[in-house]
Amino acid sequence: MKSFRLHFILPLLGLLLSSIACQTLFSPSPQGPGAMLFQDDFSDTGSGWSRVTTIQGETDYADGVYRIFVNEPNLDIWSMPGKDFQDVRIEVDALKVGGERDNRFGIICRAVRPDSFYTFIVSSDGYYGIGKIRGQDYTLIEHDALQPSSAILKGAALNHLRADCIGDTLTLYVNGEKLTEVRDAEFPRGDVGLIAGTYQTAGTDIRFDNFIVYAP
């Protein structure tokens, strides 16, 4: 198992995308999603995601993808497009292009405030979990540590992530495989988004593409 520590959270710092675009290795899962509520292939730099550069990291659009670069240890950076949904199924392609395998990145749902939401994360060394952020408090739901899975492609690989937030049930899929399902009813609805973070080593660099929100 892998511990899930967080010493400092930086909300809504943007993600800068480099010139490397993610190739889509997976199409949206064919398991009967509802109507498409929101879609972003990041070709439009005005679609609502943050564009910020600081010494701690960057968020931005570039060449049709979206980058989160985290340049400080023990830090999470996230971005949201300013939406409001209740029950949703969210999918995205995520590609690691820099930093250590000991990282974390994934999907946000039901952000009731910029610093309060659910997060569905994986790491480039093959771990996963569903967590909850409330201000400076960052905890996993129903687990003490991130869990390993062979479904997650390790290293500089592209993984297709899916997060279902339906009622009080939160479910994480990676590359078409269901990894975990937990229950929590604290956040009933809110914004969606993307997140990436570091542990002891700075330099996590993730590119996101094909972000889609469906009705369940």
**pTM score, whole prediction:** 0.87
Residue given tokens 């994480």 in the structure block: 172
Give a yes or no: residue 124 inside a domain: yes
Give a yes or no: residue 1 inside a domain: no
Give a yes or no: residue 3 inside a domain: no
Residue given tokens 């480039």 in the structure block: 124
Q: Which domain holds residue 90?
A: 8-22+31-214
pLDDT band of residue 21 (cuts 50, 70, 90) is very low
Give a yes or no: residue 44 inside a domain: yes
Q: How far apart are CA 40 and CA 162, in angstroms?
A: 15
- In this structure, what token pair is assigned to residue 214? 């469906």
pLDDT of 27 above 60: no
Give a yes or no: residue 12 inside a domain: yes
Instruction: Count other C-beta atoms under 10 Å from residue 202's C-beta.
Output: 17
Q: How far apart are CA 105 and CA 112, in angstroms?
A: 20
Q: Is the dihedral of CA 89, 102, 24, 62 positive or negative?
A: positive
Output the domain CATH number for residue 170: 2.60.120.560
Domain count along the chain:
1
Q: How far apart are CA 194 and CA 171, in angstroms?
A: 16
Core vs surface per residue 136-154: b (16+ CB within 10 A) or e: eebebbebeebeebebbbe
pLDDT the model gives residue 62? 83
Give a yes or no: residue 2 inside a domain: no
pLDDT the model gives residue 136? 86
pLDDT band of residue 31 (cuts 50, 70, 90) is low
Give a yes or no: residue 125 inside a domain: yes
- Residues 75, 10: contact at Cβ < 8 Å? yes
The residue-averaged pLDDT of 127-147 equals: 94
pLDDT the model gives residue 2? 55
Q: How far apart are CA 28 and CA 35, in angstroms?
A: 13
